[in-house]
Amino acid sequence: MVNVGILGATGMVGQRFIERLGDHPQFELTALTASKRSAGKKYEDAATWYLDSKIPEVAEDVVVVDTDPNEVKDVDIVFSALPADIAAVVEPQFAEAGMIVASNASAMRMEPDVPLVIPEINPEHLELVEIQQKNRGWEGFIVTNPNCSTIALAMTLKPLYDHYNIERVYVSTMQAVSGAGYSGVPSMAIVDNLVPFIGEEEEKMELETLHLLGDFDGESVTPASFGVSTSCHRVAVLDGHTEAVFIEMEDEFEVDDIKNSFAEFRGLPQKLGLYSAPKNPVIVREEDNRPQPRMDRNAERGMAVSVGRIRKDEVFDRSFKYVLVGHNTIRGAAGASILNAELINEIM
Amino acid sequence: MVNVGILGATGMVGQRFIERLGDHPQFELTALTASKRSAGKKYEDAATWYLDSKIPEVAEDVVVVDTDPNEVKDVDIVFSALPADIAAVVEPQFAEAGMIVASNASAMRMEPDVPLVIPEINPEHLELVEIQQKNRGWEGFIVTNPNCSTIALAMTLKPLYDHYNIERVYVSTMQAVSGAGYSGVPSMAIVDNLVPFIGEEEEKMELETLHLLGDFDGESVTPASFGVSTSCHRVAVLDGHTEAVFIEMEDEFEVDDIKNSFAEFRGLPQKLGLYSAPKNPVIVREEDNRPQPRMDRNAERGMAVSVGRIRKDEVFDRSFKYVLVGHNTIRGAAGASILNAELINEIM
Amino acid sequence: MVNVGILGATGMVGQRFIERLGDHPQFELTALTASKRSAGKKYEDAATWYLDSKIPEVAEDVVVVDTDPNEVKDVDIVFSALPADIAAVVEPQFAEAGMIVASNASAMRMEPDVPLVIPEINPEHLELVEIQQKNRGWEGFIVTNPNCSTIALAMTLKPLYDHYNIERVYVSTMQAVSGAGYSGVPSMAIVDNLVPFIGEEEEKMELETLHLLGDFDGESVTPASFGVSTSCHRVAVLDGHTEAVFIEMEDEFEVDDIKNSFAEFRGLPQKLGLYSAPKNPVIVREEDNRPQPRMDRNAERGMAVSVGRIRKDEVFDRSFKYVLVGHNTIRGAAGASILNAELINEIM
Amino acid sequence: MVNVGILGATGMVGQRFIERLGDHPQFELTALTASKRSAGKKYEDAATWYLDSKIPEVAEDVVVVDTDPNEVKDVDIVFSALPADIAAVVEPQFAEAGMIVASNASAMRMEPDVPLVIPEINPEHLELVEIQQKNRGWEGFIVTNPNCSTIALAMTLKPLYDHYNIERVYVSTMQAVSGAGYSGVPSMAIVDNLVPFIGEEEEKMELETLHLLGDFDGESVTPASFGVSTSCHRVAVLDGHTEAVFIEMEDEFEVDDIKNSFAEFRGLPQKLGLYSAPKNPVIVREEDNRPQPRMDRNAERGMAVSVGRIRKDEVFDRSFKYVLVGHNTIRGAAGASILNAELINEIM
């Protein structure tokens, strides 16, 4: 068993980490950090548990410590659910102290020597770790996963990108409130309403998606060269981001082949049989009115992305459209970091 | 005063007609029709009033009659809130009987001799009426307005189309549940959820928008020649459709000029000062997170469309994006038909 | 294994029956009935699956038959999720044909020779079966469970009734929309709203609760003699009924003793270790703001009732208050009928 | 015109004050206060406007000042929408400085020399002002209105109390999220959920209701002597508190007489024709399923309380039940304070 800890364990994503590490076959949850205010308390006293599952027993009695590498002993991997500004300061300290940091925070994602990885998409980017350690003189290292809405999108673009030349992608999102944290979206803002704006989300999607699909030449990543334009919106859904995707290809295609590309897609986690890996990373739904967030977010324990309404665009040439749903705090956050750690644990 | 009636007066859109005709300065509400089951009852007994306003006094005691031109006496204009299949049969009967039918139903919209009109956009299409009457030997005639999500979109495309060559348009909608009628969307389908499909909506938007912006040469309408591709979704909002719009132009432009085109847009109803005409048909919002359906749907008594987040597309050349909100059962339905009737009443 | 069928298998409660019988250790699901329209189709084609679980494999390929005992072969127990009016006609036919009918319908609940049973509360009422069979000349028989909101309430009154003399009970409910069936509550009725009325619900709660706690003297049931007055309301919650309960006792008590009565309550299903029996039928929550429907409805696979805010009434003597949450379509419907059948299977 | 100001003008209730004072015939809005952070900014820059109306023109350009009597010049009446802890310190300073403080805050409500007043219920309690000024040596004075859920309840108890001897009252509330302020209830807490707890709300309702209906003997108020026991819950409604009320009388009564007491109730504001006074303070609805918060909260510009489901309690003697809806931030907050000020302006 590998000892693991969670940085920022009391928030929304921190709780998802705990939920999924409570009975993990390879990872033993031994450390939980939070702000100074919570340090010294047992986890069950420090946190208000927001999920409808129970707090895993392994976490209940863990005494929360300050988010400081000196407080986190005998831990090999830390998962980071920290806010970006704190992550920028603290994650390097943990890497310097020799730990592997599997981070869901955005702070380090775009550093040229920090891998931004989804195991099904670009596991080879992990080779950046060596460069990172050399550059920075760290014993440990940082590996990151993308933003929640990016992950769901990229999971569906990867099988296409493997078979086709993509010309351009337009994406309009309908994102769940949990993405903003437990108190991020007041009920007054969202009941009988929606909010057509999420700070920095569009920029992240447009940049990170191409980075994930980019080429690694042993030194650095060259982003994929097609275009992704996004519009991001918050709707009255608890969990599960929905995205309407319009794609123009460079060449002709058959819609059935597109569907097959989705349905048959398998990546390295599937080959290696990693514990958190979904059997089918992309699930194709044939019903008229699916995927829907409440119905499909938990597919494959929340680790698969569901796509539906795959249809030819009757208006534009070489174009088609689909709708996807992915669980934003599982596949799009905690589950993504854990899958990264499982891959690292297996191959590095 | 012109005597008017409402066909299908008990449903969601029927009630919006009544609400807005209750104190209309030119139209006197004298006839209400519904299914046979309701015929013979006073309106307040026949209908369950769904709106949070009161039933206008003028309607309360009107005795509902069957939807049959023989039952509707001394009426000049009938507004149709009928389902498409019934409208297809009944609206021609009313036109034949000499009445003007201002219809919100989709049945007759694509008939080549039936005007599909938004007064701010294509009032000249009303000249089709003469052809229609000649073709069909009717004393009355039918004029239609488009689908709710089409109207809001077209209101924002018109000022652009007047100044620019549009290349293509992608639209992703987040539509209110009232668009499906009072019982159309079960709460089990939409609480903590969304439904990424609305039957025939995408087809209507893609076709009707270009028809509205099309050229009328005195004989027939030639649709505008750019492309509109749509993806339609239902969200947990009561009233007010939101649409994320991505536009590619043929030529370069300044975003500020786009904003001005919206803000300065005025049409014939504004010039004529029609009673239901909004002063500003398109309202530009500068806040980061507007327009929002609950906050903006009632702008200008529900007759204006609000646009915001007007921004350059940093990814694609000659492209920009915006978000719009329009009230689906007012500007997008009852209010649209009434404005058509006001225009007809004024100029024909 | 006992062969079982479901009458009315395509609706909301029918689906909960299927979900819970998919992997039942004693019951083999072999027959599904629905209206004539569905008969002849495979279940997965006949039903739109509303739950966020998958259709159990055992049900997918079952060919749905008409709700007629002649169509249901080699089945020992049928679970009824029929509407009351149909149940009134059909359930006796199945009992006459020799089957055990475990019914969630209200039709037969108040027949003096039909047991209305919750296994934790009044298993001894099952002795009415003999009288029923004699009276009616049936080989099979009917056993019923109460209305959903009654069950949750009665589960919490039973441990009190065992230890105290209850004087009166006031209950105000906040009930989930699933209780009205999938299409029962339009979203237009409940978004940013609540509906303070549920047809016949108050009457059922006031009558059935006392019947469940009533004495069976070998011949008939004499209802408990205290009073239960209710006010029932529908709120924007998918699953899980919440009830605010005010109780006046005949004598003084300690609140801690009340809590213990709840926490220590065990019934016959717990003693017998029935498959669907919750370990703790009544779970006591100590947090200020629990139970909450989304957080607590699934406690013990949806079969436990959670109570919280147990507090002395500072205004009225010998009085206290609490709030309860129970899953309305599991503990309050399908799960209740299945637990009845498990008990019958074990002891009769 | 009387010059008025608002203390705490940027919050939820502060905005309702502004909305209703924007075109008030007697009150001229000249001062707005907020926290230091907002001081010095124009109101439209200092506040995020939450209401779906526009900011009244009169307020847009007012420069916000610190909540300090030295900053508020030439103002006769200040309305207080301050949090209780700040109100406790600041309201006395404004009274000392000679201003009339019409407060919605709870801080001073239970001071024996501070009137807690609803003009329809206990205008005579205003005579406490003289005692207050004498006690405290103030030129100005403080008058308060009760908590939002108390007001709606008390408005319906007053007509009963005038005609009957009430024995006891049980109330279960379903309260709107706006009652907690704009950010008070996260969407994660209330979508597909409810929260069965509101801090200190039950205590306020139980105490303030009896105080409002209490006798003033020229010196002090003796609370009414019947009992009110409450259970308070937060539901997914934006505005409008709903309350289920169970009442036991001391004597027999006819339900029709109860209805008449409600319908015919008029108070001093109605007699005086005060500007904000509803014509019918209590509106009786006869439909099965009314009142509903979205449909009835705005009755009489949000100043009337709607009651429905008035029915005999078939279980308990001399008992009946009803459901009420009142707008919590209008009748229950800003509108209540303004009506108090109108009454003071008229009679003192």
CATH 3.40.190.10 for domain D148-327: no
* Separation between Cα atoms, residue A172 and residue A196, nearest integer Å: 10
User: What one-letter code names the amino acid at A137?
Assistant: G
Determine, for residues A309 and B233 on separate chains, whether the beta-carbon distance falls below 8 Å: no
Determine, for residues C195 and D294 on separate chains, whether the beta-carbon distance falls below 8 Å: no
> For residues B115 and B343, is the Cβ–Cβ distance under 8 A?
no
Q: Select from D283, D295, D297, D301 the residue whose CB has the most chain B CBs within 10 Å, as the one to mutate to test that interface.
A: D295
Q: What confidence tens digit (pLDDT) does each residue in D79-107 have?
A: 999 999 999 999 999 999 999 999 999 99
| Beta strands D77-80; B2-7: pairing state | unpaired
Contacts of B23 (CB under 8 A, 6+ apart): B56, B58
> For residues B101 and B78, is the Cβ–Cβ distance under 8 A?
yes
Q: How far is B108 from chain A (nearest CA, A)?
A: 23
In this model, does residue D194 exceed pLDDT 90? yes
* Separation between Cα atoms, residue B175 and residue B232, nearest integer Å: 7
Write out the E strands in chain A: 2-7, 27-34, 65-66, 77-80, 100-103, 141-144, 166-174, 215-216, 221-222, 227-231, 241-249, 282-284, 305-312, 319-326
Q: What is the pLDDT of residue C52?
A: 87
Determine, for residues A187 and D192 on separate chains, whether the beta-carbon distance falls below 8 Å: no
Structure confidence at residue A204 as a pLDDT band (50, 70, 90): very high
> Omega of the bond prior to B223 within 30 degrees of 0, cis?
no
Closest CA to D339 of D272, D264, D256, D244: D272
Determine, for residues B185 and C182 on separate chains, whether the beta-carbon distance falls below 8 Å: no
Q: What is the pLDDT of residue B297?
A: 98
Q: How far is B290 from chain C (nearest CA, A)?
A: 20
Residue-by-residue DSSP string for C251-316: S---HHHHHHHHHH---HHHHHT-TT--SSSEEE--STT---HHHHTTHHHHTSEEEEEEEE-SSS
Q: What percent of chain D has pLDDT over 70?
A: 100
CA angle, residues A2, A7, A12, in degrees to nearest 5: 115
User: What one-letter code names the amino acid at C307?
Assistant: V
Q: What is the pLDDT of residue B243?
A: 98
Pick the CATH number of C2-146+334-347 from 3.40.50.720, 3.40.50.1980, 3.20.20.70, 1.10.300.10: 3.40.50.720
Chain C residues inside the 8 Å CB shell of D315 = 168, 206, 227-229
Q: How many CB atoms are closer than 10 A to CB A162?
A: 11
DSSP state of D330: I
Determine, for residues A294 and C192 on separate chains, whether the beta-carbon distance falls below 8 Å: no
Q: How far is D17 from chain B (nearest CA, A)?
A: 19
The span from the first CA to the last CA of chain D, in angstroms, equals 16
Delimiting residues of CATH 3.40.50.720 domain(s) in chain D:
2-146+334-347
* Three-state secondary-structure class, residue D163: helix
Closest CA to D15 of D61, D66, D49: D49
The answer to whether A148 is a known catalytic residue is yes
Q: What percent of chain D has pLDDT over 90?
A: 99
Q: Shortest CB distance from B197 goes to which of A206, A309, A316?
A: A309
List C-alpha distances in Å: A218 to A110, A124, A138, A347, D319. 17, 9, 19, 17, 82
Block means of pLDDT (10 residues each) for chain C, 348 residues, are: 97 96 96 95 95 92 96 97 97 98 97 98 98 98 98 98 98 98 97 98 98 97 98 98 98 98 98 98 97 98 98 98 98 98 96
Which residue did the predictor score with more confidence, C201 or A53?
Answer: C201
Q: What is the pLDDT of residue B319?
A: 98
- Residues of B classed as catalytic: 148, 241
* Separation between Cα atoms, residue A328 and residue D217, nearest integer Å: 63
> For residues A67 and A35, is the Cβ–Cβ distance under 8 A?
yes
- Compute the count of residue pairs across chains A and C with CB atoms less than 8 Å apart: 10
Chain D residues inside the 8 Å CB shell of C315 = 168, 206, 227-229
Chain A residues inside the 8 Å CB shell of D236 = 187, 191
HSE (side-chain half, CA atoms, 13 Å) at B326: 31
Contact map slice: D 168-197 vs B, CB within 8 A:
191-192
Write down the ipTM of this complex. 0.96
**Is some CB atom of chain A closer than 8 A to the CB atom of C52?**
yes
Contacts of C229 (CB under 8 A, 6+ apart): C168, C169, C170, C171, C206, D246, D313, D314, D315, D316, D319, D321
Q: Which stretches in chain B have pLDDT values below 70?
A: none
Q: What confidence tens digit (pLDDT) does each residue in A63-105 have?
A: 999 999 999 999 999 999 999 999 999 999 999 999 999 999 9
Q: H/E element holding D256? A: helix D255-264
In this model, does residue A222 exceed pLDDT 90? yes
Instruction: Extract the tokens encoding A135.
Output: 């550059």
Chain C residues inside the 8 Å CB shell of B50 = 188
Q: Which residues pair with C323 in a beta bridge?
A: C244, C308
* Separation between Cα atoms, residue D275 and residue D79, nearest integer Å: 17
Q: What is the pLDDT of residue B293?
A: 98
Closest CA to C184 of C247, C234, C229: C234
Q: Which residues pair with B2 in a beta bridge?
A: B27
Determine, for residues C186 and B187 on separate chains, whether the beta-carbon distance falls below 8 Å: yes
Neighbours of chain C (3+ CB pairs under 8 A): A, B, D
C24, C125, C148, C211: the active-site residue: C148
Closest CA to A179 of A280, A108, A106, A120: A106
Delimiting residues of CATH 3.30.360.10 domain(s) in chain C:
148-327
Q: What is the pLDDT of residue D52?
A: 87
Mean pLDDT of D235-257: 98
Q: Shortest CB distance from B186 goes to which of C187, C192, C237?
A: C187
Determine, for residues D192 and C288 on separate chains, whether the beta-carbon distance falls below 8 Å: no
The answer to whether C233 is a known catalytic residue is no
**Is some CB atom of chain A closer than 8 A to the CB atom of B268?**
no
> For residues B66 and B7, is the Cβ–Cβ distance under 8 A?
no
* Separation between Cα atoms, residue C31 and residue B67, nearest integer Å: 46
List C-alpha distances in Å: B116 to B125, B216, D68. 7, 11, 61
Determine, for residues B187 and C192 on separate chains, whether the beta-carbon distance falls below 8 Å: no
Chain A residues inside the 8 Å CB shell of D182 = 186, 188-189
Answer whether 0.95 is exceeded by the pTM: yes
